Structure 1
Amino acid sequence: MPRTTPAYLQLAAILRTQILTGELPPGAKLPSETKLMAAHDISRSVAKWAIATLKGEGLVIGRAGSGVYVRDGSRLIRYAHGRNMRAADGPTSPFARDAEQAERTPTWDHDSRHDVADDLIAQRLAIEPGAPVMRTSYRFAADGEPIQLSTSWEPLAITAGTPVEWPEDGAAVGVVARMDSIGVRIDDFEERLTDRPALPDEAEALDLAPSSAPVWVIVRTYYAAGVPVETATIVLPRGRYELVYRVPVL
């Protein structure tokens, strides 16, 4: 017997077509769940999951107390190579720079705490398992829309007792600027890019569908004279980002 497409995916396809053809233009408000139920003879759960699917694809965004709206379709561009971290004017935070270039207002929340390196983080930082580290979790937003998660680890053997021990408490912002301020000159970094479905807590934090929403995962490590000084796991919703890499030919 042929497999029938689930009703919520059928409705998502209808709404997706209306969005991509401009019938529902950027900024338009989607019909409420109640109106979708009446128009398509479906249950509330079908309407809810169809909208969740479109959220996961980055096509719509929910606004608390207001409804669900078609996103403008523009993606934040992440310029990875070099990031002009020392030479460029403007913010020294790479995220803030990318957001402002897109004429969007950057904000973020963070939580820093002392921790110890597990086996994986110890390998990434070339330190012993159990060595003390500073762990910081971030949730970034552009114009109030959650758009990036990041967790970073720094060896306290490098930063403990310095003005940059707590990443967000000093005058310098961004890993390169912070390390420069204590005489640790970062000269390169490595990024490993993969994709996967969002984990449940990531989907909740990024306002994505609760399952199967695709995300980019970037494992980034900064080096000073070949020694790892910071490593981070960065999670980006695929529908909200364009990743740009420009690499010099030597």
Structure 2
Amino acid sequence: MAKTPAYLAIAAELRAQIQSGALPAGAKLPSETKLMQQYGVSRTVAKWAISVLKAEQLVEGRAGSGVYVRSTRQLVRQAHGRELRAAPGPTSPFARDAARAGQRGTWEHDSRHAVADEQIAVRLGIEPGAALMRTSYRFLADGEPIQLSTSYEPLSITGGTVVEWPEDGAAVGVVARMDAIGVHIDEFEERINSRPASEAEVTVLGLPSRADVYEINRTYFADGLAVETADIVLPRGRYELVYRIPVT
């Protein structure tokens, strides 16, 4: 098994200290010189380790002073059923995640009619060219951009109903909206990838140029029928993805 590169191992130790509170918001990170002495590495390795944490937006440099832990709280994305029906509170999954972290979740959106390309058609089990509602979102926690999402819903399901326009209808959140028209979502699938942020994502989310993101392709199902699919982008370091899966 390949050994973890030293800069990633150092970044992992510092990240764990930040997430545990051992290095709280506002705390100063050890200097490059101290990291070199502590871990027996070169200055380049120490610099790369700190760059990883900067890219994840866990720390920030202050000119002439050093590198400090940012005063931002990490959101935890609980993905076991999402508790969207049973638990009290907002029916938007993002609003729940933000509230759990003690932050105010808001979002911007743009909905418009579109047609399915081949990739989206396969995910939804429909014909290419079929009519869709396409909605682009930018989510903010306490006013800071933290998530992007593009959602696709077949108009064969929502067209002409009170929830056709996702943010202007009778409910908020896919599960609650589908419930409102008698479509009972009972399952979802997520495929997760980690990749460098695109130039557009760097700009819209206010990320460092070398940041990495999680990309989640999520699809909701009702009795085996795909009723919505979405591409979700989350900055690494700002999110912890938690999956609790029942064993049968």
TM-score range, shorter chain: 0.7 to 0.9
Corresponding position: 1:227 with 2:225: yes
- Residue by residue over 1:99-146, the C-alpha shift from the partner in whole angstroms, topping out at 9 and shown as x without a partner, is 101110101000000000000000000000011100000100111111
Match of 1:180, SS state, is helix
Check whether the contact 1:53–1:209 (CA below 8 A) recurs between aligned residues: no
> What corresponds to 2:150 in structure 1?
151
1:143 is aligned with what amino acid?
D
> What corresponds to 1:134 in structure 2?
133
Per the TM alignment, residue 72 of structure 1 is displaced from its structure 2 partner at its CA by 2.7
Check whether the contact 2:133–2:155 (CA below 8 A) recurs between aligned residues: yes
1:195-206, aligned counterparts within 5 Å? 195-206=194-205
Match of 2:102, SS state, is coil
Count, aligned residues: 211
Per the TM alignment, residue 203 of structure 1 is displaced from its structure 2 partner at its CA by 1.1
Per the TM alignment, residue 56 of structure 1 is displaced from its structure 2 partner at its CA by 2.1
> What corresponds to 1:167 in structure 2?
166
Per the TM alignment, residue 52 of structure 1 is displaced from its structure 2 partner at its CA by 8.4
1:247 is aligned with what amino acid?
I
Runs of 5+ unmatched residues, structure 1: 1-8, 30-50, 63-67
1:241 equivalent among 224, 233, 239: 239
1:164 is aligned with what amino acid?
V
- Residue by residue over 1:137-162, the C-alpha shift from the partner in whole angstroms, topping out at 9 and shown as x without a partner, is 01001111111100000000111110
> What corresponds to 1:46 in structure 2?
none
2:229 is aligned with what amino acid?
T
Q: State how far apart, in whole Å, the 1-side matches of 2:138 and 2:83 are.
A: 23
Q: State how far apart, in whole Å, the 1-side matches of 2:142 and 2:93 are.
A: 16
Identity %: 68
2:160 is aligned with what amino acid?
G
Q: State how far apart, in whole Å, the 2-side matches of 1:223 and 1:89 are.
A: 23
Q: State how far apart, in whole Å, the 2-side matches of 1:25 and 1:225 are.
A: 46
Check whether the contact 2:191–2:218 (CA below 8 A) recurs between aligned residues: yes
Q: State how far apart, in whole Å, the 2-side matches of 1:201 and 1:81 are.
A: 31
Check whether the contact 2:170–2:180 (CA below 8 A) recurs between aligned residues: no
Check whether the contact 1:115–1:135 (CA below 8 A) recurs between aligned residues: yes
Match of 1:239, SS state, is coil
**RMSD of aligned Cα (Å):** 2.9
Corresponding position: 1:189 with 2:181: no
Q: State how far apart, in whole Å, the 2-side matches of 1:180 and 1:201 are.
A: 34
1:39-78, aligned counterparts within 5 Å? 55-60=54-59, 70-72=69-71, 74-78=73-77
Per the TM alignment, residue 28 of structure 1 is displaced from its structure 2 partner at its CA by 7.3
Match of 1:202, SS state, is helix
> What corresponds to 2:47 in structure 1?
none
* Mean CA deviation greater in 72-81 or 107-116: 72-81
Q: State how far apart, in whole Å, the 2-side matches of 1:27 and 1:171 are.
A: 43
Runs of 5+ unmatched residues, structure 2: 1-6, 29-49, 62-66
> What corresponds to 1:26 in structure 2?
25
Match of 1:167, SS state, is coil
Return closer, same or farther for 1:207/1:55 CA change in 2, 3 Å cut-off. Answer: farther
TM-score (norm 2): 0.77
1:217 equivalent among 215, 218, 224: 215
Q: State how far apart, in whole Å, the 2-side matches of 1:140 and 1:61 are.
A: 22
Match of 1:124, SS state, is helix
Match of 2:237, SS state, is helix
1:114-129, aligned counterparts within 5 Å? 114-129=113-128
Per the TM alignment, residue 210 of structure 1 is displaced from its structure 2 partner at its CA by 2.1
Check whether the contact 1:94–1:174 (CA below 8 A) recurs between aligned residues: yes
